[in-house]
Amino acid sequence: MGRREYKTIIDRKQSILHFHFSCHRRNFQNLLDLSIFLTGNIFPIYKSTQSISSASISIQFHSDILSNTLCAKMADDCAVTVYNNNAISDPNNNNKNTFSVKVGLAQMLRGGAIVEVTNVDEAKIAESAGACCIIVSEQVNKSGSGISRMLDPAVVKQIQRSVAIPVMAKARVGHFVEAQILEAVGVDYIDENELIAVADEDHFINKHNFQLPFVCGCRSLGEGLRRVREGAAMIRTQGDYSGSGNIVDTVKHIREVMGKIRVLTNMDEDEVFTFAKEIGAPYDILAQTKQMGRLPVVHFASGGISTPADAALMMQLGCDGVFVGSEVFDSVDPYKSVRAIVQAVRNYNDAHILAKVSSGLNDLVASGSELNDAITRLNVDDNNGGNY
């Protein structure tokens, strides 16, 4: 480690942070190294009842792994309240990161698109198109036979070497050894993914035992908060599993989660106790959700998102970002498709920009199954004498 100079000036009354430091001849191998370095200077500053009105960060270091993501994600318009209450307890293990550090790592992805890739070429396209992170996975098994498992670590390393943005990898639900291997490989995030084969039907991974932040899926508020209790630093509300481009389930589950949070915010303490029992959620984390008016961790949408309009819809429904499936690379111009979705996530409230980035994407057509479903519905309506 070379010489390091830094100066921090904090005016808590005005909630203004001016942070400037310089690093010489220091290599940050991944998000974890950089987070540990920054944690003592940035993350403790903003509490659950405070916000940062201004943030100025100047970073110079030998390895520019996070040069395209860190400064943008730490801006005040992308800041999420760091969970620093006692509701989520960490084991007394000095070798593990605190939950707030993991949440801070997940916050760096807020306001971005995480793109699923299967090889180095797709990873490079996603990076150049502006993806905030890539999630590596196997090629989709069209026959539906066989068991999906953790991707070969050699492939993960190969993709890691080819890009400078964070890399996420999937582990089977409950398979903590796969998670241990991925942590040893050096990925930045681990997705305990229920879409691949489930290793343990009764137990999820105890994510507090790992240094890396975990992503977990949910289809309801209770399920999401149970995953947070287990140590998940990011929740993805999951919709379509097949990659068909159908977002109906994704929208349904997001509206269910957001709707219950809105109901929760109007409850008194006695009602919160009963509500926690009804949805099977830990009371303390549910109370924190009521206080914040949102999930206590970063919340992404996943499933069927294949157009800029889909991505903008998820953002307007209240999500912090989106997962984009590998089927986006089946289009004629995958770079243009990914770039359009990234721009839609960043400008989801600007209809003019959405119209611009959505133009010329005729190659993103519905899959064969969706077309067949639409034709079937049309024929049924015609036979019944109705209007479609």
d(CA 102, CA 349): 29
Q: Which are the catalytic amino acids?
A: 170
d(CA 155, CA 326): 16
The sign one gets for the Cα dihedral 131, 206, 262, 49 is negative
d(CA 166, CA 187): 8
Distance of CA 205 to the CA centre of its chain: 18
CB 46, CB 39: distance < 8 Å: no
CA-wise closest residue to 186 among 32, 25, 1: 32
Walk across the sheet containing 4-11 and list its strands: 4-11, 16-23, 54-58
Print burial letters for 221-241: b (CB count within 10 Å at least 16), e (below 16): bbbbbbbbbbbbbbbbbbbbe
Half-sphere exposure of 60 (CA within 13 A, CB side): 11
